[in-house]
Amino acid sequence: MLAREISDASSLLGLLLALVTLFTTETSRRIEGEEAREGGPRADVKKSIVRHCVGLFVVTVSSVAALGPLVVDVLQTMGGQRIEPTYVVFILVVLLLGSLAFWQAVLAHRARRL
């Protein structure tokens, strides 16, 4: 049952992780571009970057929160049985999403300081 739930979520979770990472990387490049811009960063671009960072952060944190009940079930199952590789990979992906949210928060802070 639990393995089926993880399997059902895995393709969407992989797509989410890939897309959000791609958008976050692009946002990081935009910040670097504005930091290096001759004449300083443009105010309208700065606002756009901050909004983008906050939006990505909200999506990522919401995803982790939505997966919360499944994470709890996996952790409880792992404590009492043989550990399934699928469970471990699922937990690692959730941890990657958490790390991604932290990176997005750092980027938002950097963008505000431009």
- CA 9, 18, 112, 52 torsion-angle sign: negative
Q: What percent of the chain has pLDDT over 90?
A: 79
Strand extents, DSSP E, the chain: none
Tell which residue, 40, 39, 66, 56, has the closest CA to residue 107.
Answer: 56
Answer yes or no: are the C-beta atoms of 97 and 64 closer than 8 Å.
yes
The pLDDT-based confidence of 114 (bands split at 50, 70, 90) is: very high
Q: Does 80 have pLDDT greater than 80? A: no
DSSP 8-state assignment for residue 39: T
Q: pTM for this structure? A: 0.90
CA 101 to chain centre: 4
C-beta of residue 98 within 8 angstroms of C-beta of residue 64? yes
Q: Kindly indicate the confidence band of residue 37, based on its pLDDT and cuts at 50, 70 and 90.
A: very high
Tokens representing 26? Answer: 């692009």
pLDDT at 108 over 80: yes
- H helices of the chain, in order, are 2-36, 43-80, 85-112
Is a pLDDT exceeding 90 seen at residue 11? no
